[in-house]
Amino acid sequence: MKRVLISLVTLAAMTGCAAQHAEFGERPTARAAETLSVAKVLDNPKAYEGKVVRVSGVVSDVCKPKGCWMELSDPGSDGALFVKFTCPVEGRLIPLEAVDHKATAQGKLVIEQVGVDELRHMAEDAGKSPADIAKITQPEQRLRFESAYAEVEGVESGQK
Helix (H) or strand (E) holding 112: strand 102-114
Model confidence band, residue 157 (pLDDT cutoffs 50, 70, 90): confident
- Give the model's pLDDT for residue 122: 84
Domain positions in the chain: 22-153
CB 148 within 8 A of CB 24: no
Closest by Cα among 23, 19, 105 to 69: 105
**pLDDT tens across 32-84, in order?**
778 999 999 999 999 999 999 999 999 999 988 888 899 999 988 888 999 99
For domain 22-153, give the fold: OB fold (Dihydrolipoamide Acetyltransferase, E2P) (2.40.50)
**pLDDT tens across 74-111, in order?**
988 888 999 998 876 666 689 999 999 999 999 999 99
Cα atoms in the 13 Å half-sphere on the side-chain side of 41: 34
Q: Which residue has the higher pLDDT, 31 or 131?
A: 131
In one letter, which amino acid is 50? G
- Would you call 50 helix, strand, or coil by DSSP? coil
